[in-house]
Structure 1
C-alpha cells in the first residue's frame, strides 16, 4: 500500500542543512511529499545492504526515503539519510542502476559533505563581502559604474569558488561509490548506464561542453562525459563488471517500478503503457492500481487475484487486495488478506497500520482490542507514521481512554507541524495521565519540543 505524507519535520530540518544532489536539478523540498510503501522500502534496504556493509555501516543505520518527484534525482541531507525521487525509479531500467545511485550518495555521507558544506560557503562568502567593501569604496569615490563592476566580478568569483568545491565533492563521491560497489561485489555497469541517461538529459537541455566552453563553470557537478570517462575504466577493470544482479532482486525492482507507475501516473497512461495483453506480474500490478484509481474495484481485484494466483505467498499482493477492498467500502472483506499480509511480513508497520485501519472501519466494537494491539505495535516500530498515530487515537477515543487519545493526537499533530494543536493536545494529555508514567513523560517531551520550535520560529522572524 503506497501512501503520501508531507515531508516530516525531521526531514525538513535535514534538508535545511544543505544538500549534495546527484542529478541535474532539484525541486523545492516544500513541494515534495514522502511516499511510504512497505514493499519499496524493503527493496531499498535489500538493494543497499551489501553496499552499506562494504562502507562499514550497519544497514539499519541508513534511512532511504522515497520522494514524490518526477525529476531524475537523488541527494543526501543532514544525518545518514538518502533521498530518492520517484522519477529516478521510473528512469532506471534495473536494480543495478539503483545500486549505483545508492553507492554514490553513500559516498557523500562517508565524505561528510553536508557537514563540510561551510568549507565551500566560507571562502565564497568572504569574496562576496570583500567585493561589497571595494564596491562601496568605489561608489564613495564617485564611480558608481566601477562599484557595480567590482561587485559583479566578486559575485562571479564567489560563485566559481563554491561551484568548484561542489564539483570536487561530486568527484569524491563518484570514487567512493565505485570503491563500495567493488567491495560489495556489485557491478558498476548499472552506474555507467545511469550516467549515460544523465548525459542524454544534458544533451536534451543543451548542456554541451564543446558548444559552450564556459558551461562547466556554472555547474554543481562535473560534466557527465568526464565522469563517464573516469568511471568506465575503473568499473571495467573490476572483477564484478560482468556479474549480473540477483534475479530475485531484479524481479522485485520491476514490480516496484510498475507499482509506482500505476500509483502515480494518470490511469489512461498506465493502461497504454501496460495494455491488457501483457499478463506478467509488473503489468498486472500497474493495471491494478490504475483500475483502483478509476474506481473500477472489480477490475482491480481481478488483476490482484491473478497476481495472488501466480504467487500466493507474496504478502504485498495480499496487502493490495486488502487496500482495494478497504478503500472500496468493504472493510470486513479486507480483514483476511490484511491479517495474512501483516503476519507474513512479521507485523511490518505500514501493513499493520492498514490492518488496524480496516479493523476500525468495520465499526465493530469487538475489533477494538485487536486494533489497539496492532496499532500500538506499529507505532512502536515506526514512530514517524502520523496516520498510525491518528488511528491509534481513534481506538483510545472509542474505548474511553481520552488522555491517551490526546497523546496520540499530539504525536500526529507534531509530525504534521500543526504546532498549536499539538501543544494543546500534549498539555491536556499531561494533565490527565498518571504523573511519572512513560506516557506522561512523553506528553511532557512533546509539549517542550513544540514550545522550542515555536520559540525558534519567533526568533527567526
Structure 2
C-alpha cells in the first residue's frame, strides 16, 4: 500500500506499520520531550502498531509503540505529545527493569504459596493447603497491581514535568485522559481501584489538572506547524486504515484541504482508481512541488499500479530532496529492481546498500537488495541479503538462515567485511538450530 510498509508482529495480533513521514514527525515533535528527560533522542525508536484501541506503551528498551487508534482519535498534536511525554517517563524512570523485578517478586510469592499449599495438602490438610495457595496468589497479585498503579501515578507527573520544561501545554494530556475515561464508562471497565494496573482515570485527571494548570504554558495552543503536520499524518492513516466509503465520508470531495486530498488519494488507490488517486496527489504537488512525501506517494501509486518506469521519476526526486529517508529510498530501489535492467539493478544496489546501513532492520530493503544482486548474477551477495532478511524474522527457521549464510560464506572473498558478517550469521543460526529455537533479532 502507498507509503506504509507493513511488518508482521507475531508477539501481538497486530501489524507494525512504517511510513517515512510519520516516523520523522514523531521524532521531531518528541525531541524537546526527550531532551527535557535527559535522554538521547537518537537512541529512541518509534513503532506504529496497527491497532484501533487508544493506547501506547514502551517495550524492549527505549522503544515507544503507538497504536493507530490513538492517532486517529486524537484531536490535536498536543494530545499525542502528552502521551509521548507519559511514555518517556517510563523510559527515564527505568520502569521496564523495575517492572521485571516486581513481576519476579510476585512470582516468588506465588511459588512459595504453592509449595506451602502442596505441603499442607500432602499432610492431609486439603482445605488449609488450598487456602494457602489462594491467599498467596491474591497477595502476589495485589502487590504487583499496587506497584503498577504507583508507577503510573509517578509517570503521569514526570510527563507533566517534561511538558513544562519543553514549553508545551499539558492540556493535551488531560484531554487524552478524558477520552480514556469516556471509553471506560462506555464499555463498563471496572472502577475498583484495587484490581487495576493503572490508577482510576478520574483520579489521574484530578491530580494532573492541578499540576498542569499551574504551568505558565497551560493556555499555549499547539504549534501551528506541528498541528498542520499532525493533520496530514492523521489523514494519511485514516485513508490507509479505513474502508474507502468511510474515508469519503470523513473527507468529502468538497474538502480540498491537504489532509483531505491525502486521505482520498489512499481511498482511490485502494479502489484501484489510479487516475483519481494520481489527480489528488497532483493537486497536492501543484501547491508543494518539492514536498518529498507527496512525490513519494505519487511514485508509490504509479509503482503499485504497474507504471514502474513512470514511478522512478518522482521517487528519484523525492530521494534527492530527502536523502536521509531510507523508506523512500527503499521504494526507489524497488522500482529500479522491478525494471529488470542490469544498469538499473546496479543503481539499486548502490541505493539499497545505503538503506540497509541506515535502517538494517528493514526486511523489505534486504529482499530488494537480494533481488538486485540476483539480476547481476552475484549469487553470494544475494544469499547474504537473504540471510540478513530471514534473520530479522521472529521464529525464523535457523536451518534456512544457515543455508543462505553458508552459500554467502562459500562465495564471498575471505576475510572481507561481508564474508565476516556471513560467518557471524552462520554461527548464530547453527547455534539456534542446535538449541532447537528460532532466531530473530528485532527490537521490541
On whether the aligned pair clears a TM of 0.5, the verdict is: yes
**Structure 2 alignment gaps of length 5 or more:** 440-444
| Residue matched to 2:410 | 431
Q: Secondary structure at the residue paired with 1:278?
A: coil
User: Size of the alignment, in residue pairs?
Assistant: 435
Relative to the length of structure 2, the TM-score reads 0.94
1:141 to partner: Cα distance: 4.1
CA contact (8 A) 1:78 1:115 kept: no
| CA RMSD of superposed structures (Å) | 1.7
The 3 A distance-change label for structure 1 pair 406 and 231 is: same
Within 1, Cα distance between the matches of 2:69 and 2:253? 24
| Residue matched to 2:151 | 169
1:325-344 to 2 correspondence within 5 Å?
325-344=302-321
1:65-80 to 2 correspondence within 5 Å?
65-80=47-62
Q: Could you tell me which of 261, 275, 291 is aligned with 1:284?
A: 261
Q: Secondary structure at the residue paired with 2:96?
A: coil
| Residue matched to 1:183 | 165
Q: Which runs of 4+ in 1 moved over 4 A?
A: 455-460
CA contact (8 A) 2:399 2:430 kept: no
1:8-47 to 2 correspondence within 5 Å?
29-47=11-29
Within 2, Cα distance between the matches of 1:432 and 1:364? 24
Q: Could you tell me which of 113, 127, 151 is aligned with 2:133?
A: 151
Within 2, Cα distance between the matches of 1:418 and 1:92? 40
1:111-130 to 2 correspondence within 5 Å?
111-130=93-112
1:357-436 to 2 correspondence within 5 Å?
357-416=334-393, 417-436=396-415
Relative to the length of structure 1, the TM-score reads 0.91
- Determine if the alignment matches structure 1 residue 250 to structure 2 residue 227: yes
Within 2, Cα distance between the matches of 1:321 and 1:160? 54
Within 2, Cα distance between the matches of 1:337 and 1:189? 40
Task: Provide Cα deviations, 1:74-111, integer angstroms capped at 9, x if missing partner.
Answer: 11112211111111111111111111111111111111
- Determine if the alignment matches structure 1 residue 294 to structure 2 residue 271: yes
Within 1, Cα distance between the matches of 2:336 and 2:132? 69
CA contact (8 A) 2:340 2:375 kept: no
| Residue matched to 1:269 | 246
Task: Provide Cα deviations, 1:254-295, integer angstroms capped at 9, x if missing partner.
Answer: 110110111111122212221211111111111110110111
- Determine if the alignment matches structure 1 residue 62 to structure 2 residue 49: no
Within 2, Cα distance between the matches of 1:455 and 1:164? 42
Within 2, Cα distance between the matches of 1:49 and 1:301? 34
1:68 to partner: Cα distance: 1.1
Within 1, Cα distance between the matches of 2:148 and 2:70? 21
Q: Secondary structure at the residue paired with 2:315?
A: helix
| Residue matched to 1:235 | 212
CA contact (8 A) 2:432 2:438 kept: no
| Residue matched to 2:189 | 207
